[in-house]
């Protein structure tokens, strides 16, 4: 008997840096880069990066909640982003690079809201957490060259994480906490 798989969608800036942390976890069956939250149908990367489509770069995750729960996904997600930055993520600026949790059920919505509130109250940040919690809409998969970027272009992936400031931010704010993306 096959267990029920679930879907989670997170926007965390450049999707190249958001796949690997989830991709290597037990119970994660698929992580796809794509676009969501906007009004343009069938967007492509060249359109989304201009910030004129309303879409955010995002990852969509298919997972087995019996092995890796939604709360575990949220915990890993928060450790990949600067949830206090409403202008983008690290050196990627613009609405298309903002953070958001897109919920697929009322249970996910409640868990995401609770998780964000807990992070805001107990987390390492002096600024308020501004990550949006939004209903999931249509998810458009990005072009194949953007899928599993960390595997196809490992040197470029590492350079993106370091040069963008993401790696330093994670190390500064989550030191002492095991990072699943290493």
Six-digit token pair at 175?
């030191």
Three-state secondary-structure class, residue 14: coil
Q: Quick check: helix, strand or coil at residue 102?
A: strand
Find residue 32's DSSP bridge partners: 60
Render 18-41 in DSSP notation, one character per residue.
THHHHHTSTTEEEEEEEEESSS-S
Nearest to 161 by CA among 96, 89, 94: 89
Compute the chain's Rg from CA coordinates.
Answer: 15
The residues annotated as belonging to the active site are: 14
């Amino acid at each position: 008997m096959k267990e029920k798989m679930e879907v989670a969608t997170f926007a965390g800036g450049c999707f190249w840096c958001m796949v690997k942390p989830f991709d290597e976890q037990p119970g994660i069956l698929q992580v796809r880069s794509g676009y969501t939250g906007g009004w343009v149908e069938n967007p492509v990367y060249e359109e989304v990066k201009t910030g004129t489509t309303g879409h955010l770069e995002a990852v969509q995750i298919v997972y087995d909640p019996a092995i890796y729960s939604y709360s575990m996904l949220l915990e890993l997600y928060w450790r990949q982003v600067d949830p206090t930055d409403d202008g983008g993520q690290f050196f990627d600026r613009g609405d298309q690079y903002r953070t958001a949790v897109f919920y697929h059920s009322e249970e996910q919505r409640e868990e995401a809201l609770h998780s964000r509130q807990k992070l805001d109250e107990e987390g390492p940040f002096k600024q308020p957490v501004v990550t949006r919690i939004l209903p999931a809409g249509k998810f458009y998969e990005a072009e194949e060259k953007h899928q599993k970027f960390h595997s196809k272009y490992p040197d470029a992936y590492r350079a993106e994480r370091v040069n963008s400031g993401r790696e330093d931010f994670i190390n500064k704010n989550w030191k002492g906490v095991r990072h699943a993306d290493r």
